[in-house]
Amino acid sequence: MTEYRWHCPRCRAPIDDDRGFVAEYWSGASTSFVVWCATCQWQGEIVLQDIVTTYQRAEG
């Protein structure tokens, strides 16, 4: 598995062998991770991106 220090995106608790679950898988060229946090029970999928495009709202 890729070397990352995992933290829950919801509660920021560390996710390791005793306090959660992370599984890496590949689909085509993308890398994804199924994540479960034992602290807050959050579960989801995290997909690595090469580039992210976003916008900034005009003030007012």
Residue 3's pLDDT is what? 67
How far apart (Å, rounded) are the C-alpha atoms in residues 46 and 11? 15
CB 45 within 8 A of CB 26: no
C-alpha separations of 22 from 9, 18, 56 in Å: 13, 11, 32
What pLDDT score was predicted for residue 32? 93
Count Cβ atoms below 10 Å from residue 31 Cβ, excluding itself.
14
Please report the pLDDT score of residue 24 as a whole number.
92
Q: How far apart are CA 41 and CA 10, in angstroms?
A: 9
> According to the model, what pLDDT value does residue 5 have?
79
pLDDT tens digits, residue range 2-60? 566 788 989 999 987 678 899 999 988 889 999 999 999 999 999 988 888 888 888 87
User: What pLDDT shows up at residue 17?
Assistant: 65
